[in-house]
Structure 1
Amino acid sequence: MEDLITIETAANSIINNSTNKPSPDSVVSTLIQIEKQSKKQDKKYNIEQLSGNWQLCFITGTKKTRKRAGIVLGAGRYIPNWVKITLSYFSPLNTSETPEQIEIGRVENTVEFAGLKLSLSGPTKFIDKKNILAFDFTKITVKLLGVKLYSGYIRGGQESEDKFATESVGKQAFFAYFLIQEKFIAARGRGGGLAIWGKLAT
């Protein structure tokens, strides 16, 4: 329970612009502990639990090492208040062509700062046996002070989207979620880094 309070406090500090922030080191160690517990307990989540808008609150870097682990975590840090990074997950829209055990949805990742709003969007698929959400950004929208400057497919985006459902997750970007709560979530990315998001009010 104490571990969850640490993560919730970290997320709330960014969502509510609060100065009550647990130390980055304590947040990182707590995330690692929760991830271990999740694997040990073999927790299972579903894509519906991710639906909604989530603001990125905390991330860790990674650094390469020659040790067997290959990659180790770098320092953790809170996202500064001058930039807002939001993940929005939308409900799955499966078809008869969708492989079993895979739920296809949509994601939009938005970065806002200094009047500029950059949004990347594309398909997602959730592998429920592993709590892995793979994604591919295939479209981009750019706005400045509310005025749309560009919106369309990224180069090769249409082709990537067409083959996304059947392509191996090993070739795609993904998040492995080990903590999904009503107000906050945490995951490890393909590159090995950890991240926390807080739920935004709708």
Structure 2
Amino acid sequence: MALAHPEGTALLELEQHSRRHGSGLTANDLEGTWQLWQLWSRRQARPMPAAVALLRPLGACLAITAMDGGPLGVRNSVQLGSLQLCFVGEGALRGRRPLLVFWFERVELRLARRLLWQRPLPRPGNERSRPFFALIASRRQGEEGWLAARGRGGGLALWRLAPPAP
């Protein structure tokens, strides 16, 4: 049986709880590859089907790796066939809620696993100007799970845990 993920009102209630009491999420809770499942804009309580219809087939995902006591590894990518565009960087948890503050160090273009091109990206100097996700909640059960967060621009995202690679 699939692990149910929150929708609509239930997700907004989880967000209110997180704002008041924090999500309690840790780096270990975030670790994994998360496939984009649903998006809501800042101004609408309804899902954004057009954006999801574009991003889901492109395999939009967020991969987070916990590194021993150091920053988190963050990788945001889309893929068309075996061609993949990746933004690779680091992140850190900040505050009680917490926020996942991140920055990208480079952009890569890969064909299958082969690196075709890469370019370094400037690191924002001021932490206040960096992108972030305000973490709302996450649940896992075996190899299934979901993660909900609101981005710096106000959009709300729900990801599903990707199955382990064969």
**TM-score normalised by L of structure 2:** 0.80
The residue number in structure 1 matching 2:83 is: 116
Q: Residues 52 and 61 from structure 1, CA distance in 2 versus in 1: closer, same or farther, beyond 3 angstroms?
A: same
Shifted more, 121-130 versus 190-199: the winner is 121-130
C-alpha contact 1:59 1:77 (8 A) present in aligned 2? yes
The residue number in structure 2 matching 1:92 is: 67
Q: Residue type of the partner of 1:199? A: L
Unaligned runs of 5+ in 1: 8-26, 63-71, 95-102
The residue number in structure 2 matching 1:197 is: 159
Alignment of 1:115-194 (within 5 A): 115-144=82-111, 147-154=114-121, 156=122, 160=123, 167-168=126-127, 170-182=128-140, 183-194=145-156
Q: What is the CA-CA distance between 1:34 and the residue it aligns to?
A: 1.4
Query: Alpha-carbon deviations, 1:83-117, whole Å to 9, x = none?
Result: 211111111344xxxxxxxx621101110124421
Q: What is the CA-CA distance between 1:199 and the residue it aligns to?
A: 0.6
For 1:177 and 1:86, the matched residues in 2 are separated by 16
Q: Residues 194 and 74 from structure 1, CA distance in 2 versus in 1: closer, same or farther, beyond 3 angstroms?
A: same
Where 1:181 maps in the other structure, the secondary structure is strand
C-alpha contact 1:45 1:128 (8 A) present in aligned 2? no
Query: Alpha-carbon deviations, 1:131-166, whole Å to 9, x = none?
Result: 110011121111246553202413x2xxx28x6xxx
C-alpha contact 2:38 2:158 (8 A) present in aligned 1? yes
CA RMSD of aligned residues (A): 2.4
Q: What is the CA-CA distance between 1:43 and the residue it aligns to?
A: 3.6
Query: Alpha-carbon deviations, 1:160-194, whole Å to 9, x = none?
Result: 28x6xxx43x2210001111111001001111110
For 1:117 and 1:59, the matched residues in 2 are separated by 21
Q: Residues 179 and 144 from structure 1, CA distance in 2 versus in 1: closer, same or farther, beyond 3 angstroms?
A: same
Query: Alpha-carbon deviations, 1:48-70, whole Å to 9, x = none?
Result: 110111111111123xxxxxxxx
The residue number in structure 1 matching 2:32 is: 52
Where 1:76 maps in the other structure, the secondary structure is coil
Unaligned runs of 5+ in 2: none
Q: Residue type of the partner of 2:120? A: Y
For 1:38 and 1:178, the matched residues in 2 are separated by 6
Where 2:13 maps in the other structure, the secondary structure is helix
The residue number in structure 2 matching 1:76 is: 47
Structure whose CA Rg is larger: 1
**TM-score normalised by L of structure 1:** 0.67
Q: Per residue, is there more helix in 1 or in 2?
A: 1
The residue number in structure 1 matching 2:16 is: 36
